[in-house]
Amino acid sequence: MSDVRILGTGAYVPERVVPNDEVAVAAGVDGPWIAGKSGIRERRWAADDQATSDLAAAAGRAALRSAGITAKELSVIVVATSTPDRPQPPTAAYVQQRLGASGAAAFDVNAVCSGMVFALSAAEGVLARSGGHALVIGADLYSRILDRSDRRTVILFGDGAGAVVLAASAERGPRVRHLALHSFGELSGLIEVPAGGSRTPVDRTALEAGLQYFAMDGRGVRSFVGDNLPQLVKAFLHECGVVPDDIDHFVPHQANGVMLDSLFADLELPRATMHRTLTHYGNTGSASIPITLDAAARAGALAPGDLVLLAGFGGGMSVGFALVEW
């Protein structure tokens, strides 16, 4: 990789707090059941007049302030999202307009909950060619696509956005040492929104069948994570030239607290602290890694020289890892 540095981080979550008891009513469960199954106690849902680009732009502004640069200095904006404002144009175009970053190229990446790591890789490629600064944002607004009666999904998801500012060959900031991406297309049916694309347009038949809603095979996802993540992480660390004892911080996709506890035990990272934000924010899709990274940074938990492992996994099925030297 080229020498890409993180100059700043930022995050935004909507004001509306949705506790478990509120979600539980339509789902036919109760608040303690949700907490026991997921480790989540509340989440944030967007206001009716907010779209994904609004959340993304707010997180982007926070990251720009943290980095100490202006939007005019950006050469590229990459937004990772699976809940775009519209099928087209890219949500990143709206973010560019809201930030006033008229000189920046802007495009989206969709790798669902691994999207932030995939977007980091895309931005790194652009910076390697042209230099400059990149704003990379993970943003999702899942409350718009949830079936409120489906307890398999509605209990898990919240809305939010997180962002980082990257610079090529900068002399300051945490260094992105290595990235790795994986996809398992044969398992793409585990997580999907069946209607809304060219395969199954949203028409009356699709709406009556509820195909416009997010659907997930939770048991299949848990099996995928348990069967694949430990060995993929170990192989990634080997590629990076480090051993599990070297990792100081683990920032995973905030899928489900019970799943994360099991995964963390299987990874055998003896010195690492696992960072979590899902207790209060739920699963925020592609936003969960940058929101959690920003929370750890703002709390002063990350010391210079610490090794931070970012791990995304989600629909596709997709997996993405990044090793950051803070």
The set of catalytic residues is 113, 253, 283
Which residues have C-beta within 8 Å of that of residue 87, sequence separation ≥ 6?
A: 196, 197
Query: Could you please report the per-residue DSSP string of 194-229?
Result: -SSSSSS---HHHHHTTTTS-EE-HHHHHHHHHHHH
Cα separation, 147 vs 84, whole angstroms: 18
Encode 40-60 in three state secondary structure: CCEEEECCCCCCHHHHHHHHH
Identify which of 184, 310, 188 has the alpha carbon closest to the alpha carbon of residue 247: 310
Pairing verdict, β 4-12 and 249-252: unpaired
Cβ atoms 176, 305 nearer than 8 A: no
